[in-house]
Chain A
């Protein structure tokens, strides 16, 4: 098949009437999207101002014995630094997080791997995620591996129809019925392999392999996902309540710091909200 034949065939194949009104619909959708964004920002601003005001009003007359209410807060990811090496984004070995070192040690030897990016322990206090994107930088298999570690357990049942299996893309390579742990299942498609392992005590490890040549077998990926050393590097995080309580002040703290300071903060927040609302309204008129 020559390249010219492909070009000709593609042109023949794409010879279809063009739908009408694309530009008008795009403009209308864009304006609608902006309006929704503006409305959302407005609601957030008003909500934040109201919440601040209510919190300050409540705190000004708070009793000493009042129990602080802990709210779960999102945890920001910790990223390893990325450098460009040979034109590719690369996390150098010295910067690999511990779980990446374990993954790299567990991956089959004989292939070249390049860590593209890593993210550690973000999400919410009760369910955190770490991930690493690894390029299988090998002439035999220019593929990508993504490893996810979830601190919470995922449930699966081998008797149920697994979501990906319903498609013709994947077939089940293995599925451990339990109750012994770690339990794992693997799905294989023409260009993807998906392995999930749930360990005792919660951590769920997922390895996604998008491949061309399938140089790594599902069983080899299973060994990575069920590696006990990988579970060993998952830190024990504090619970949601403890994590949040550390970030807020108690009523007694507040009485020591003085309510007048907080009220000033509240007033400043309300003024900022009013300025933001004005800016939003001006932006809305432009849209």
Chain B
């Protein structure tokens, strides 16, 4: 990569790192994992930067890479049993209102109980606000599958976390 391409890459990362890091954080539920995941995706992006920057969307490439990389890590960890799944979910300490913290904690715990694909569907559809067709492209499945996944994931969220509704109701009041 020449100096100009490297400068453009740095500009891109500077502009998009906050959004991408937050997506990674929601996908993994763990700050260190999110940093590693985003770093791995950005390294791959840097390796193929010229072609991706010229022919396609770097954002889409990073999202797709993060999703597949996370699935891959998750499967390896599941088989290798080296990952403490009981680790308490990390939440940022920016909010100082008790109910907001409780809501974040509840959501983090619920997300942890979803499969990686279900998490990805939630993140891409509701955090990134991507249309179903884009989500399908990233996940490598059909739009119908995304719809059914969204439906099932929402149902599972309701089932796993009835308190989330209650908390928000109280919060809204």
Q: A167–B38 Cα gap in the complex (Å)? A: 26
A16 touching B25, Cβ below 8 Å? yes
Cβ contact within 8 Å between A26 and B78: no
Interface size on A, residues (CB 8 A): 41
Provide the residues of chain B in CB contact with A180, threshold 8 Å.
none
Contact yes or no, A16 B45, CB < 8 A: no
Is A34's CB under 8 angstroms from B154's CB? no
Residues of A within 8 A of B (CB): 1, 3, 5-7, 9-19, 22-27, 29-31, 33-34, 87-88, 139, 142, 163-164, 166-169, 190-191, 212, 287
**Contact, CB under 8 Å: A6 / B126:** yes
- Contact (Cβ within 8 A) A9 B46: no
Chain B residue with Cβ nearest A139: B148
For the complex, give the distance between the alpha carbons of A255 and B38 in Å.
59
Contacts of A166 in B (CB 8 A): 81
Interface of B (DSSP majority class): helix
Residues of B with C-beta under 8 A to A11: 127
C-alpha spacing A26/B48, complex, angstroms? 12
Distance in angstroms between the alpha carbons of A249 and B23 in the assembled complex: 57
B contact residues around A287 at 8 Å (CB): 1
B127 and A1 form a contact (CB under 8 A): no
- Min CB distance A190 to B, Å, is 8
Chain A, residue nearest B85 (CB): A168
- Residues A12 and B103 in contact in the complex (CB < 8 Å), given A1-B154, A18-B18, A30-B43: yes
Is B35 on the interface with A (CB-CB < 8 A)? yes
Contact of B145 among A3, A16, A142 (CB under 8 A): A142
The residue of chain A having its C-beta at the shortest distance from the C-beta of B149 within the complex is: A142
Chain A's closest residue to B45 (CB) is A26
Q: A11–B104 Cα gap in the complex (Å)?
A: 10
